[in-house]
Structure 1
Amino acid sequence: MSDSGYDHTTVERRWQAAWDDANVYRTPDDVDDPTYVLGMYPYPSGKLHMGHVRNYTITDAYARYRRMCGDDVLHPMGWDAFGLPAENAAKERDTNPRDWTFDCIDTMRGQMESMGFGYDWEREVTTCTPEYYRWNQWLFTRFHEEGLVERRDAEVNWCSHCETVLADEQVEGEAELCWRCDTPVETRELEQWFLRITEYADELLEAIDDLEGWPNSVRQMQRNWIGRQHGTELEFDISEASNGRGDAGEYGPVRAFTTRVDTIFGATYFALAPDHPISQQLATEDDDVRHFIEHEADPEGDEPNGVATELTATNPATGEEIPVYVADFVLSDVGTGALMAVPGHDDRDHAFATKMGEDIVPVIAPEPDEGAEPTAPDVSENAFTEDGVLVNSGEYSGLESEAARERLTDDIESAEHTTQYQLRDWGISRQRYWGTPIPVVHCEECEAVPVPEDDLPVELPEFINTTGNPLDAADEWQATTCPECGGSARRETDTMDTFVDSSWYFLRYVSPDLEDAPFDLERANNWMPVDQYVGGIEHAVMHLLYSRFFTKVLADHEGLTHREPFTNLLAQGMVQLEGEKMSKSKGNTVSPQRIVDEYGADTARLFMMQAAQPERDFDWSEEGVRSTYAFLTRLQEMVGDYVRTEPAGEADAVSSYVDSEIDATLAIATEKYEALTFNRALRETQDLVRTLRQYADYTEPHAETYERGLSAVIRLLAPVAPHLTEELYAELGNDGFVVDADWPTATVDREYVEKRRKLVENTREDVRQIIDVAGIEDPQGIEVVVAPEWKYDALEIAIESDTDNLIGELMQQAHIREQGDAAASYGQDLQVEREALSMTLRPEAEHDALEAAAWLIEREFDAPVSVVHAHEADDDVLSNAGPGRPAIEIEE
């Protein structure tokens, strides 16, 4: 013991060494009841931050809990070790990314060990090693063989600061900033490698409904990102306006996509994206169009903007010519980059039409009352965007929207049903050094040729500190021979997006040292899917979507049994300081190492887990940390006092109450651990500690009861505070480790626990209120009277009955009817409160529960307490007693 608390440093070092010596966290390869618990592996930035500590404490606590429940638990750790930050850090420090990365890994691994995280370090994976990224390359070639890899010119997102391509998912916010450095993202035309994730778009979308263990918010984010829309694609003939300068149809038909072809009679203009081929052609001929495209177009602007052209589009349903605009609210990668604008029934189209003075024509009316004619809505100020009944639509007027969509698609010659997606193929090319080399060589004769499996891995050359992509300067490394023709060739210098690494790393953990395949298929089929996955909400789209894609491909082509990688997902909240996310730039970070040094890892872990539910953000509090440390110190003292004094109290009503509270805590805390609501489980455990302290202060404890309570507390805290609980578990004379101990079980069910606790707490609160209202300063005695049995029977009838005449049904029971006016009055009370009624304990159980808890009331009010059966009480007191709310008489 130190002067201010227990000696956490000595305790934690002792048990970490003991765990290492016994290799307690090693998971065998072949198990009968596998449970796979995983936290998203970190990027090795150099030091753990509080977000890391929270994430990995959650997974560690759950893994330890499942292990104590008897499961064989796989709980590994690895490193998302490739990426641009390491490359930039190496350039700044004139070193190389490998040395920088492994220095950071060594530091962070040491910090994780100091936190007591129970990882099987023999399964550690590091994605920047050739032993790992070889299999990235192998998977690339397998995807290529199955037609899921494509190389093509594409307009890509380009970060000028990072000098690399970004996937759509890596462009953040309305300002379109780089996810790494917040630089505004540009667009460039580059030849890129793509994984054809769109081939799995339908399955990725439809399988979301089966991910019942995922947060609804994450599932919806994935649905939105995939963005499937069913609609109609049809042609509008584009020509120059009738001004004698060209032939009609000069620009030919342009296909437009719409989900609301039922509104086509209200199309009053046509709009093209600024980068649509016709827009680009017009820019070479029309100064206004060129100026708009180059200087004014702003797809992220608050208001739609555009420029008129001298073109018209022919509406295929009406034959009318409508004006054509180049408009920045039309996007080339949404739909076809061209749209029919219906301002009467689309808010964006309405805003643009109002700005440009175009007609706004209503063609959809709200559903009329039965027998009435539909009335066109007033759309002068706002669009009517709901489905309804067609008006002003020729022969289609009177049709409901859905029926009209089907008929118009059938009737218009160029129209066809189409499904479109927001999801685009995954561009994996990155123009940087510190990533997996794409295993392709370029040959003048054979063009792009995948590197054969026997020649993998294609290892990175020595790092060259230069601007741009260092691989472009590695001439000797680039020079090679073509695997097909044997002629001269050059290696691909793009490396893979690091999300490729993380799209399958969870499979590598099952066989990290396997040399002839990326993972052992039999083990993977045994362990997968991951039972509980934990990580930040920022990965809701990129990482999780790509992992699902990879898993489905591997199921189709490599024999993986499961098509989804993660059964249950928890997106943990942030650790904040005074309401703001911790960040180095804001100078509001708290060092985990400082907390470990000052208060111990158990304190940091316990404080974080009790502060809030794992999904919620919470504020870091030094006061909360100190309070947590004080709690652990008190617990250590309680165990020490018990071991030294060996109490010899009797088993009595008080010990019976404490026993029941132990059971209650076990029942509730176990349920909360199972649901990962650790804060509730820990609150229950701390309440039990408080009860045990009150018990020891009130009387000499019964040794068996008190030790059972201490043992329950130690094991309930073991997943969160593993070091001190090991110390206390041993101090109580147990053999082995608490991490291997059985999870404690309750002998009562949750429903009984809740009823008993509610009864006791309501009774204590009623006593407080009576004393306060009556102004009783020194109560001499407190009598608690349990209600007569007929009231419990009446309550049960009221809950189970659906009759309107409750009093009549009650009076059919002779033993209730014979209570006369008292039964009628109670029946009226039950009728009034009928919707809120719930069952309580039966009278004998209620009496026993109150008698066992009487010592708490005596201790609080320093007055003797008697618990009385109904037949022992005076009638005037008994009349106030009800099920779950006994009558209370206080003697002054």
Structure 2
Amino acid sequence: MQDQDQRGFDHGEIEPRWQREWEEAGTFHIPDDADDPTYVLGMFPYTSGELHMGHVRNYTITDAYARYRKLQGDEVLHPIGWDSFGLPAENAAIERDTNPRDWTLSCIETMREQMQAMGFGYDWEREIATCDPEYFRWNQWLFQQFHDAGLVHREASEVNWCPDCETVLADEQVEGDDEHCWRCGTPVETRELDQWFWGITEYADELADDLEELDGWPDNVRQMQENWIGRQPGARLEFQVSDNGPVEVFTTRIDTIYGATFFALAPGHAISQALAEEDDEIRHFVEEEADPEGDEPNGVRTDLTATNPATGEEIPVFVADFVLSDVGTGALMGVPGHDDRDHAFASDQGVDIVPVVAPSPEEVPDVSEAAYTDDGVLVNSGDYSGTESAAAREELTRDIASATDHVQYRLRDWGISRQRYWGTPIPVVECPDCGPVMVPDEELPVELPEFVQTTGNPLDEATEWKRTTCPDCGGDAERETDTMDTFVDSSWYFLRYVSPDDADAPFDVERANEWMPVDQYVGGIEHAVMHLLYSRFVTKAIADMELLEHREPFENLVTQGMVLADGEKMSKSKGNGVSPLAIVDEFGADTARLFTMQAARPPRDFDWSETGVQSANGFLQRFHETVEMFRESPPEGDEDAIAAYVAREVDATIAAARESYDDLTFTEALRETRDLVGLLRQYREYTDPHAETFERGLSVAVRLLAPVTPHIAEELWSTLGHDGFVAEASFPEPAGDVSDAERERQLVENTREDVRNIVDVAGIEDPEQVTIVVAPAWKHRALDIAIESDAPNVIGELMQDEEIRAKGDEAASYGQDLQNERQSLTSALAPDRELAVLEQATWLVEREFGAEVSVVPASEADESVAKKAAPNRPAIRID
């Protein structure tokens, strides 16, 4: 623990005090009658019981942006809640011999206290928890509405089964080439179970098409969703398979059909299963050898043949493990000349490989060693030879009798059934006479029974809870014992925040139409497919029920990178986690917030660094000290050139910080503000500052830091004598024109760097005089001509100007320089402005080198020095 005197301020006293004052004043509460507030939201946390650094980063990003928008004068909706159902809580409760509800509620209480200690400016009156019956009743209500809209079905299906979690996983929850559970890493098995599905595939086209409208989303997230939806336009057509009749296939390359030299069936295809009952070799392959995840395609030849509908030729039929039952039709035409996988299989099985597409009729590819997979011109394709691939696809689809245009998707309907306890009960009663019957609205919510530890599905063991009566006929019936996938909870929670206490509807429709969509959403890239795709689907489905005018839930999205430790992701399993609370205890929440925000832009990963934490804390100490010194001993200096320079830097900092906050880059805003505080300290050390200029600089810096370090900002705002909270102040505005701020800054920094280089290269230990010479007006005009001219020879253009031409060899030499650097030329300040800017900055050079500094126009300088002066790059003489 640091010594109090060394720390400079007591964060342990300051931070809780301002948190109490915000709460008592309702600073972050948003009233129900707010007029179209800015909606800022971080993906709500799972109730693990303790904040980790990933949480701190995610919620500091959203909090900083929400506070910034409030400083800009917006009403801001910034709520928080808890993703509180799920298997981990169930497992944790079993390990601790308690029940999931008690465990979850204790976790919520702990995490709420931790979030409050971080100073996050939430409207806590809108807090929700998905395990609350008043929340999950609306999951059940949505299930009913989706059922009535034809978006719910139950069927026996091959599902992904995690034997460790003892539950079904959606396709999106199976990760890696080895297909393991997204939560526990256990290899996933395949089982056939009766499952409830939500019809997300009904929205596949809209989900794919609308990605183009999400301009505020990262390109990689949109690409991941597009790939997952996997829309493939192509054709369906039939091959006659011996005595089994027509078998349908889907292909995106019907233009290659003349090169189809084999036919393949999935091991699970009905024909394959029938053959396995009659043929031991096929049965052994189907039951023992088939490996869809294997590195090489494998299969077994059957006695069947298939008739190629384009050529009429009989081709061999295989049962092959690279054909999947649930992809396409479970059958495919093998075209080894133009598909890499088919080529590998045909080479192993000794099947003919025939080229039927070529770059041109004269360049028929050799496909004996590798497939040619590009489009081109058809060859060896009968009457279609010479036709380009795209045209051939249209003609063949039209001409082959069984062929029809078809679009296939990788996306599958969303299996929401989970065989666990801690989730939303599916509101269905199974009646032996009526079949599955929806629970009536007036009986919602269907709540969970008391938790019983057991293997398998706990609700299946809840005999009394299961026993019920059929809502339709009144006869004996049983409740559905599956619970909903927890991604159902998070697929619409952002709507509940607009009216979290509404007992009559999931959300207030009028308010949701006004407040949605979420203006800025922040969360991890790992949710790019599951949560974000499901949320988009549910929003569109709700809109089609005329409950919402918006069809997309999130207008802008930031996916934040990970916090690393020595290059690896922090995790409990690796034992490399850093406790945010330990940082808060030692250095304060503001230090933790500042470090996480200045270390990297939100989308990037960054390494946790104790040195970085200490640096952030040291800066806050210095800033606090600077403000305290101002209060205790106000300066009385003149409003001189130095004050003008500082005032200009304050304005430039405001402009740069605003741009950074608008873009949610943050690092630039914080770097700019730190530089401003450093400049103000230099100003005070160098001379007696002008009081108004100095105080304005401090007040600006406080407001620029307030979104990220809110507690110390409030303290310093009060110390400077301002009324009210800085959280409710206005974002500062530049007092002067900042249109040339960047060029002015660059001019000063380049000039200072040139002085350093000359001193270093010349080995000048104690320079006495630094003369900075500004280029003459004719060179500025020459630069403007060179930038604006389209002529190939800029020198000829320059010589048309009488004054420039009068400079003779000097003009020719400078013209040649401009010609050589033409691609990188940038405009410069006017000569008088360049002179004024440099004059205001001379104190920085004088302070650094202890030398007298003068800035002069070229007309007043030694000719040998003046000739070297150029716009943007004054000449320098050091004596």
Pairwise same-fold verdict (TM > 0.5): yes
Determine which of 220, 224, 227 is the counterpart of 1:221.
Answer: 224
Q: Partner amino acid for 1:374?
A: E
Q: How far 1:871 moved relative to its partner?
A: 2.2
Q: How many equivalent residue pairs? A: 876
Superposed CA deviations along residues 354-390 of structure 1, whole A, max 9, x for unmatched, are 1222211111110x3xxxx432101111111000001
* Residues 1:46 and 2:28 are matched in the alignment: no
Q: How far 1:874 moved relative to its partner?
A: 2.4
The equivalent residue for 2:417 is 429
Counterpart secondary structure, 1:230: strand
CA distance in 2, matches of 1:751, 1:363: 62
The equivalent residue for 1:122 is 125
CA distance in 1, matches of 2:684, 2:195: 72
Q: How far 1:805 moved relative to its partner?
A: 3.0
Q: How far 1:815 moved relative to its partner?
A: 2.1
The equivalent residue for 1:835 is 823
1:795-806 alignment, distance < 5 Å: 795-806=783-794
Superposed CA deviations along residues 832-860 of structure 1, whole A, max 9, x for unmatched, are 11111111111111001100100111111
CA distance in 2, matches of 1:287, 1:860: 89
The equivalent residue for 2:573 is 585
1:391–1:397 Cα contact (<8 Å) kept: yes
1:364–1:390 Cα contact (<8 Å) kept: yes
Q: How far 1:870 moved relative to its partner?
A: 2.4
CA distance in 2, matches of 1:684, 1:72: 26
1:617-696 alignment, distance < 5 Å: 617-696=605-684
CA distance in 2, matches of 1:885, 1:598: 48
CA distance in 2, matches of 1:117, 1:774: 54
Q: Partner amino acid for 1:699?
A: T
Counterpart secondary structure, 1:3: helix
CA distance in 2, matches of 1:4, 1:268: 81
CA distance in 2, matches of 1:140, 1:845: 68
Range moving further from structure 2, 478-487 or 219-228: 478-487
What TM-score does the superposition give when structure 2 sets the normalisation length? Answer: 0.99
Q: Partner amino acid for 2:322?
A: F
1:36–1:531 Cα contact (<8 Å) kept: yes
How has the CA–CA distance of structure 1 residues 750 and 288 changed in structure 2, closer, same or farther, with 3 Å as cutoff? farther
The equivalent residue for 1:96 is 99
* Residues 1:309 and 2:292 are matched in the alignment: no
* Residues 1:742 and 2:730 are matched in the alignment: yes
CA distance in 1, matches of 2:629, 2:731: 25
1:467-506 alignment, distance < 5 Å: 467-506=455-494
Q: How far 1:749 moved relative to its partner?
A: 5.4
1:786–1:883 Cα contact (<8 Å) kept: yes
Q: How far 1:748 moved relative to its partner?
A: 4.7
Determine which of 194, 197, 204 is the counterpart of 1:194.
Answer: 197
CA distance in 2, matches of 1:411, 1:296: 39
Determine which of 251, 255, 258 is the counterpart of 2:248.
Answer: 255
Range moving further from structure 2, 499-508 or 793-802: 793-802
Q: How far 1:202 moved relative to its partner?
A: 0.5
Counterpart secondary structure, 1:340: strand
Q: Partner amino acid for 1:716?
A: L
Determine which of 46, 69, 72 is the counterpart of 1:69.
Answer: 72
* Residues 1:165 and 2:188 are matched in the alignment: no
CA distance in 1, matches of 2:793, 2:566: 57
Counterpart secondary structure, 1:26: coil
The equivalent residue for 2:237 is 234
* Residues 1:150 and 2:153 are matched in the alignment: yes
1:285-364 alignment, distance < 5 Å: 285-364=278-357
CA distance in 2, matches of 1:666, 1:837: 28
* Residues 1:271 and 2:259 are matched in the alignment: no
Counterpart secondary structure, 2:667: helix
Counterpart secondary structure, 2:708: coil
CA distance in 1, matches of 2:797, 2:622: 56
Q: Partner amino acid for 1:67?
A: K
CA distance in 2, matches of 1:293, 1:631: 67
CA distance in 2, matches of 1:165, 1:468: 12
Superposed CA deviations along residues 189-245 of structure 1, whole A, max 9, x for unmatched, are 111111111111110000000000000000000000101111011111112xxxxxx
Counterpart secondary structure, 1:826: helix
* Residues 1:890 and 2:878 are matched in the alignment: yes
CA distance in 2, matches of 1:559, 1:89: 38
2:36–2:514 Cα contact (<8 Å) kept: no
2:651–2:738 Cα contact (<8 Å) kept: no
The equivalent residue for 2:5 is 3
Superposed CA deviations along residues 546-597 of structure 1, whole A, max 9, x for unmatched, are 1001111111113311110000000000000000001111110101111110
Counterpart secondary structure, 2:15: helix
Superposed CA deviations along residues 665-715 of structure 1, whole A, max 9, x for unmatched, are 111011001000111110111111111111111111111111111111111
2:706–2:726 Cα contact (<8 Å) kept: yes
1:782–1:864 Cα contact (<8 Å) kept: yes
Q: How far 1:304 moved relative to its partner?
A: 1.3
CA distance in 1, matches of 2:25, 2:622: 29
Percent identity, aligned pairs only, is 69
Q: How far 1:629 moved relative to its partner?
A: 0.8
CA distance in 1, matches of 2:764, 2:91: 74
1:532–1:566 Cα contact (<8 Å) kept: yes
CA distance in 2, matches of 1:117, 1:448: 46
CA distance in 1, matches of 2:77, 2:176: 37
* Residues 1:549 and 2:537 are matched in the alignment: yes
Structure 1: give runs of 5+ residues left out of the alignment.
240-249
CA distance in 1, matches of 2:698, 2:530: 46
CA distance in 2, matches of 1:299, 1:446: 40
1:374–1:391 Cα contact (<8 Å) kept: no
The equivalent residue for 1:21 is 24
CA distance in 2, matches of 1:159, 1:780: 78
CA distance in 1, matches of 2:84, 2:507: 19
Q: Partner amino acid for 2:141?
A: W
Superposed CA deviations along residues 859-888 of structure 1, whole A, max 9, x for unmatched, are 111100000022222222111000010011
Counterpart secondary structure, 1:298: coil
2:524–2:559 Cα contact (<8 Å) kept: yes
1:492-641 alignment, distance < 5 Å: 492-641=480-629
CA distance in 2, matches of 1:555, 1:802: 54
Q: How far 1:118 moved relative to its partner?
A: 0.4
Counterpart secondary structure, 2:841: helix
Q: Partner amino acid for 2:260?
A: A
Superposed CA deviations along residues 433-475 of structure 1, whole A, max 9, x for unmatched, are 1111111111122111111111111111111111111111111
Q: How far 1:750 moved relative to its partner?
A: 5.3
Counterpart secondary structure, 2:503: coil
Structure 2: give runs of 5+ residues left out of the alignment.
none
Q: Partner amino acid for 1:184?
A: P
CA distance in 1, matches of 2:97, 2:764: 79
The equivalent residue for 1:849 is 837
Runs of 4+ in 1 over 4 A off after TM superposition: 748-751
Superposed CA deviations along residues 794-849 of structure 1, whole A, max 9, x for unmatched, are 11111111112322222222222222222222111111111111111111110011
CA distance in 1, matches of 2:94, 2:598: 42
Determine which of 676, 685, 701 is the counterpart of 1:713.
Answer: 701
Superposed CA deviations along residues 760-806 of structure 1, whole A, max 9, x for unmatched, are 11111111111222221221101101000111111111111111232
Counterpart secondary structure, 2:519: strand
CA distance in 2, matches of 1:642, 1:33: 41
Q: Partner amino acid for 1:507?
A: L
CA distance in 2, matches of 1:757, 1:326: 71
The equivalent residue for 1:772 is 760
CA distance in 1, matches of 2:816, 2:46: 66
CA distance in 2, matches of 1:750, 1:456: 60
Q: CA RMSD in A?
A: 1.1
1:778-797 alignment, distance < 5 Å: 778-797=766-785
The equivalent residue for 1:382 is 370
1:77–1:125 Cα contact (<8 Å) kept: yes
What TM-score does the superposition give when structure 1 sets the normalisation length? Answer: 0.97
Q: How far 1:296 moved relative to its partner?
A: 1.8
CA distance in 2, matches of 1:413, 1:749: 73
1:126–1:132 Cα contact (<8 Å) kept: yes
* Residues 1:448 and 2:436 are matched in the alignment: yes
